[in-house]
Structure 1
Amino acid sequence: MAREISNPLGVIDELFARCTGDKPPSEWQEKAHFVKTLELENEENFARVPCLNDVLAEEIPPFSLVRYRCLVQDVFEPELYSMLLLDREAQRFVTTKYRETLPGGKDLQDLGRNGLGTRGAYYCVPLPGETPWAKAAAAAGRTAAASAGQSQARTKRSRDEDVDMADMEPAAEAAPQVSQKPRQKQAPVPTPARNSDSFGLNFPLPWEEDQRATACIVKLYDEDAESLRLCESIEILGVLCVDPSMANLGDAPSWPYDARSPSTALVPRLHGLVVRRLPFYHPALPFSPAFLSEARLAQAYQRGLGGLQQARSAAIGLLQQSLKDPLAAEYVLALLASRVYGHTSGMALGQWSLNISHWPEDTAKSLHGAVSQLVPLAAHLPLTAETLSGGRWKPRKDFEANRLVAGKLQLAPGTTVLLDEAQMAQGTLNEVGVRAAQALNSLVTDQTLQCDFNSYDVPIPLEVNCLFVSKGVSILKLADVVVPLQPQNVTTDMASVGAGLDAARFLLALITRQARPFSMPEEVTARFSEDFAQIRQEHQDVGQRTVHVWRSLARAVCLTHGEEVLSLERWNSVLAMERERLRRMTESGIQMA
């Protein structure tokens, strides 16, 4: 294992020692060194770095290099810290950059203002709603890369037996602040229950806290220090700071609670060297710059899928298995393939919401299960008068603890949100419920997350796909498109679905990774306008918003067929879908949008 992974602080200190003089720099190309030495531009090399999402923090050696895939849940004020100290004995400067505590075993002199530095601090949690297959795919990618690396290492050692054992040692020199006590065999102590209210774990989806996921306080430096924003999806590569002596919380139930400074045994600190943004995260697509060129994505979109129709058929088949309705399956797939591609007059172009009405069951878990098989991020949120009035829906600023308390709507960009009204009944909303409904309205219609700062709300842009399921028409009446469900006797070849499932996921990843180019020729635009005028004559309650919905729907349907130009043939098929939907709405007595 490279020293950059097993002992990053030792490497950082060596690099710092080479460039110190009368005025030590605040940056000494340490980030560039790690990127170059570990060849992190190569996605396989990046995946070889241990990932905090795949294992428990206590299973990773402290002060080693790790990766962490996360959501920025809270943005703290920048920290002022003693960046430089003077080693009196050696008469040279030492740095505390990328450290949580001072190096031990040295006579260090505080330099006052001359030694101060600032760093950004963020509270981060694993991506809310990450689906099981996405977690497994990410972990499998790391395992495959690690196996390849071990194979290469064995080959190298067979040629050269003089292996530098220093590179194989654990990061002991990187952790001088930890007392080296002899280990004693003892019975394992049960892990105590972890509660966000007691210990500061601030997960947007409360049930994910029981999955032993790890929250981190991320510290960033230099140009990255203040670069992150709330609700941004990122991947951090940095130094994991955990105090092993505090790994067992069972003996210390009376520790003082501090929302911004919890024990590192509970909330590890991660001092970042490399920051990668994950817009519309998908484990099937790498994120290093070398893989993100438009040319590469276009090539993958046009040729990489091979059997594109197999991919699309697998997605439709999976959705039909739950919905029992081919038309509804087409609309749900179009929603999953949609994303915002621009803004005009305060409207997000490409964004629309869907309501599957006349749902026959008491819960939409089966549909959530199908959707979760296709997308990497999905959240199932039951909506009743009780859940709206009794839960935390939007983030709330706790001024006493000086932190942002998470809410269920604080999700990662690109999440598919299934808003389940199947058990919704008549009831009265209290003040909390009214505010929750207002927050849902902002998220669905404006693509903004309202953060409650007591006397005012702060809107945060958040692009998600919203899917309502209801027995009648959604009581909240927020959806742009209503599809009354009409179950049919459809047969799904689940063997074919299974064979094409990975391709279906990859297809959706390519479509939503970034806004795809799309165009409507003049003749199609003219036909589009004529058809809209005719539909308005037939259904006078069809509103102007339908124009936007049709464009977004046509775009999504085209892209799922691998087309980036709307043809007359494809538009006619989309119009046929809309005519059938409007027929069902008239038959059910539902007013048009």
Structure 2
Amino acid sequence: MPAHARPDWVSNPYRTVDQIFENNSELYVSDPERLCRDIAAAFQAKTFDDRSDYRYFIPSVQSWKCPRDIPRRTLVHFRCMIQNEQSSAYHQPFVQIRNSTSGEVRTVCGLFKHHVALEENQMCLANSDPRSLFLVQSFKCVPVPGETQWVQDLNTLHDSARVSTSDCTIIAHFFGSAADGIRINEMYDIFGIVYGGNPDKAPEAVEPLHMAVYFARKRAHSHPELSFNTAELNGILHELRYLRPTLLEFLRSFVQGDIVAAEYLLIHLLSSTYGSRDGLPIGNCSLNLINFADRPEFAARFKAFISEIIPKARFFSLGIATLNNARMCPKLDVESSDTEQELLPGILQLTGHTHLIIDETTMDAGTLNDAGVKNLLALQKLATEQKMDIDYFTQQVEFAMDTPVFVLSHGRSLIECRYVVPVKPDNSYTETVLSDDTVKVIRKYLTAAKFASYEIDEDMRKEIVDDFVEKRKTDRNMSGILLHNQLELARYVCISHGDKALTSAHWNHVQMLEKERIDRMKPSINP
């Protein structure tokens, strides 16, 4: 469907809302929550119709250079992160209007409307009944941090030219129970009507935009061409398992030809924190590659490469000045004069599956101030615990994260990572070049891997336990922590092959990788 051929429910959603209300107004007046659900269901059904792609006919907030140009009274969508919760308020879901000429009184729907338009000789009747008020919960929403360019391009299929509103912020208003389950740091597509922002004022005077949210869809991942259905994603991973050798060979070009370092890098790219046990993250594969030659161009090449194959990445050059001056964790702006205190964003406030790439080869000599020490501790907490604190002034609130951390450094990083791999150059390696089509399928492979099903059957569990017991007899350094690390690696080695069940071949491969890694670190560094 061409971009200009928008259906009436997109170009005039108020009319659709009014029609739904008028079809059963007596029921809805007594149960406004039911009306909210029915309106959301109606618009969802139209939006996600299998016969068309909504991105072709529902305008995206990200499609305008200036927020004041975003059309009002038209259904739009915004791909965003929930940055902060705002104050709740109450809304009049229904309004009684009297015709001053005829005396007729009728009830109209006020849901999802900033105001109710009145015609000549019409007036609103005051309603003093507090039971008629409806709760509205508001959230501050911002564009998804770290979203890479290829994702943005695919998400703007209907635009004739790529534009961006990277600094656009929207205060999203959810009516009734629609706000249940909405959480800070999560990623959503929100659909609704934009208002406010004083579109007639100069850009520098424009106030924040608001959106009356008709419905929201939580995004499991950021790849625009893939389903959110886990079974379908598992099928895609299985179909693309042939890519493993190709991707592994290509990764070697970023680790000076080192096949072992390339294996760990692949595992890191597949990793996702999918749970916790005893307060520790499960699935976290933070990685520190060390012993790089002094090649400043490597970090730039690596950044460009990562940006081409994964949907979301944040890059940070670690140095004394950046640590002392950055704000890693969000912080409440208690000095603000606004009634609604703002939550100042932090570098680490990211949606799930966003990779944090830290270049420590830029570290210089100097002294960390108090802010620098706090920032370093925040990075350490994220790398080891997959947690981030938000400073609400009166208390620190801890949030669980899913942010794979990768650190590139000359020596062992200041940030303790689960896997430290000294790079061992292989001068015989010849660099591999990937075609554009191969890059496209690699993107799907890496995204699908985040949702892979995985299991260890009883026979395999027994084999692992027996193997551990035998090794403990001859190597007292074989601890439970090392076994846990190997089990994490085994999961991703299995997944990287497109398999669901761990096999002896996968387990033996992990043993080989870990033996080589630990041998490289002897005698000066503990594993």
After TM superposition, the score normalised by the length of structure 2 is: 0.87
1:107 to 106, 123, 127: 123
**CA displacement at 1:343 relative to structure 2:** 2.6
Report 1:279-294 matches (<5 A). Answer: 279-287=220-228, 292=229, 294=230
- Native 8 Å contact 1:358 1:484 kept in 2: yes
Report 1:54-93 matches (<5 A). Answer: 54-56=63-65, 57-89=67-99, 90-93=104-107
Q: Is 1:301 equivalent to 2:234 in the alignment?
A: no
**CA displacement at 1:33 relative to structure 2:** 2.3
- Native 8 Å contact 2:329 2:389 kept in 1: yes
Q: 1:298 to 1:392 in 2, by over 3 A?
A: closer
Report 1:161-310 matches (<5 A). Answer: 212-242=166-196, 245-246=199-200, 248-250=202-204, 252=205, 265-287=206-228, 292=229, 294-303=230-239, 305=240, 308-309=241-242
**CA displacement at 1:388 relative to structure 2:** 1.4
Give the aligned partner of residue 505 of structure 2. Answer: 569
**CA displacement at 1:543 relative to structure 2:** 4.7
2:21 to 8, 13, 16: 16
**CA displacement at 1:353 relative to structure 2:** 0.9
**CA displacement at 1:518 relative to structure 2:** 2.4
| Alpha-carbon distance in structure 1 between the residues aligned to 2:488 and 2:400 | 19
Give the aligned partner of residue 59 of structure 2. Answer: 50
| Alpha-carbon distance in structure 1 between the residues aligned to 2:284 and 2:51 | 31
Query: Identity, % of aligned pairs?
Result: 24
- Native 8 Å contact 1:314 1:498 kept in 2: no
Provide the secondary structure at the position in 2 that maps to 1:88.
strand
| Alpha-carbon distance in structure 1 between the residues aligned to 2:481 and 2:187 | 31
- Native 8 Å contact 2:84 2:139 kept in 1: yes
Q: Is 1:351 equivalent to 2:284 in the alignment?
A: yes
- Native 8 Å contact 1:442 1:450 kept in 2: no
Provide the secondary structure at the position in 2 that maps to 1:228.
coil
**Cα distance per residue 1:453-511 (max 9 Å; x no partner):** 234311011111011111111023x10110112233322331x4533212211111111
1:322 to 218, 238, 254: 254
- Native 8 Å contact 2:11 2:74 kept in 1: yes
Supply the AA of the counterpart residue of 2:173.
K
Supply the AA of the counterpart residue of 1:283.
P
Q: 1:547 to 1:520 in 2, by over 3 A?
A: farther
- Native 8 Å contact 2:238 2:499 kept in 1: no
| Alpha-carbon distance in structure 1 between the residues aligned to 2:470 and 2:169 | 53
| Alpha-carbon distance in structure 2 between the residues aligned to 1:241 and 1:430 | 43
Give the aligned partner of residue 8 of structure 2. Answer: 3
| Alpha-carbon distance in structure 2 between the residues aligned to 1:408 and 1:519 | 37
| Alpha-carbon distance in structure 2 between the residues aligned to 1:501 and 1:566 | 27
Give the aligned partner of residue 134 of structure 1. Answer: 151
Supply the AA of the counterpart residue of 2:443.
R
- Native 8 Å contact 1:314 1:500 kept in 2: no
Give the aligned partner of residue 206 of structure 1. Answer: none
**CA displacement at 1:336 relative to structure 2:** 1.3
| Alpha-carbon distance in structure 1 between the residues aligned to 2:47 and 2:373 | 52
Q: Is 1:32 equivalent to 2:41 in the alignment?
A: yes
Q: 1:237 to 1:462 in 2, by over 3 A?
A: same
Supply the AA of the counterpart residue of 2:88.
P
Give the aligned partner of residue 311 of structure 2. Answer: 376
1:526 to 463, 466, 470: 463
Report 1:382-421 matches (<5 A). Answer: 382-401=317-336, 402-421=341-360
- Native 8 Å contact 2:454 2:491 kept in 1: no
Give the aligned partner of residue 312 of structure 1. Answer: 244
Provide the secondary structure at the position in 2 that maps to 1:122.
strand
Q: 1:575 to 1:280 in 2, by over 3 A?
A: same
| Alpha-carbon distance in structure 2 between the residues aligned to 1:556 and 1:376 | 19
**CA displacement at 1:531 relative to structure 2:** 5.5
**CA displacement at 1:102 relative to structure 2:** 4.4
Give the aligned partner of residue 505 of structure 1. Answer: 443
**CA displacement at 1:240 relative to structure 2:** 2.2
| Alpha-carbon distance in structure 1 between the residues aligned to 2:421 and 2:343 | 37
Provide the secondary structure at the position in 2 that maps to 1:460.
strand
**Cα distance per residue 1:197-241 (max 9 Å; x no partner):** xxxxxxxxxxxxx96442211111132124311111111121222
Give the aligned partner of residue 3 of structure 2. Answer: none
After TM superposition, the score normalised by the length of structure 1 is: 0.78
**Cα distance per residue 1:264-317 (max 9 Å; x no partner):** x45322221221111343323223xxxx2x4433433334x3xx32x2234324
Supply the AA of the counterpart residue of 2:97.
D
| Alpha-carbon distance in structure 1 between the residues aligned to 2:306 and 2:426 | 20
**Cα distance per residue 1:401-452 (max 9 Å; x no partner):** 4221111000111111112211113432211112212222221222111111
1:116 to 121, 133, 150: 133
Name the Cα RMSD after superposition: 2.7
Which 5+ residue runs of structure 1 have no aligned equivalent? 147-209, 253-264
Provide the secondary structure at the position in 2 that maps to 1:439.
helix
Supply the AA of the counterpart residue of 1:480.
R
Provide the secondary structure at the position in 1 that maps to 2:351.
coil
Report 1:476-555 matches (<5 A). Answer: 476=415, 478-489=416-427, 490-494=429-433, 496-512=434-450, 514=451, 516-520=453-457, 522-523=459-460, 525-527=462-464, 530=467, 534=471, 537=474, 543-555=479-491
Give the aligned partner of residue 581 of structure 1. Answer: 517
| Alpha-carbon distance in structure 2 between the residues aligned to 1:47 and 1:386 | 42
**CA displacement at 1:60 relative to structure 2:** 3.9
**CA displacement at 1:559 relative to structure 2:** 0.6
- Native 8 Å contact 1:96 1:103 kept in 2: no
| Alpha-carbon distance in structure 2 between the residues aligned to 1:54 and 1:332 | 35
Provide the secondary structure at the position in 1 that maps to 2:87.
coil
Provide the secondary structure at the position in 2 that maps to 1:62.
coil
Q: 1:537 to 1:465 in 2, by over 3 A?
A: farther
Provide the secondary structure at the position in 2 that maps to 1:432.
helix
| Alpha-carbon distance in structure 1 between the residues aligned to 2:224 and 2:458 | 35
**Cα distance per residue 1:63-121 (max 9 Å; x no partner):** 21112111100011222233332212151123332123443544222313254221110
Supply the AA of the counterpart residue of 1:100.
H
Provide the secondary structure at the position in 2 that maps to 1:364.
helix
**Cα distance per residue 1:502-551 (max 9 Å; x no partner):** 22111111110x3522225525652565258638956x656532222111
Provide the secondary structure at the position in 1 that maps to 2:302.
helix
Q: 1:504 to 1:245 in 2, by over 3 A?
A: closer
- Native 8 Å contact 1:283 1:376 kept in 2: no
Q: 1:316 to 1:115 in 2, by over 3 A?
A: same
| Alpha-carbon distance in structure 2 between the residues aligned to 1:4 and 1:266 | 27
Q: Is 1:97 equivalent to 2:111 in the alignment?
A: yes
Q: 1:392 to 1:43 in 2, by over 3 A?
A: farther
Provide the secondary structure at the position in 2 that maps to 1:443.
helix
1:474 to 413, 431, 443: 413
Provide the secondary structure at the position in 2 that maps to 1:451.
strand
Q: 1:85 to 1:536 in 2, by over 3 A?
A: farther
| Alpha-carbon distance in structure 2 between the residues aligned to 1:270 and 1:532 | 60
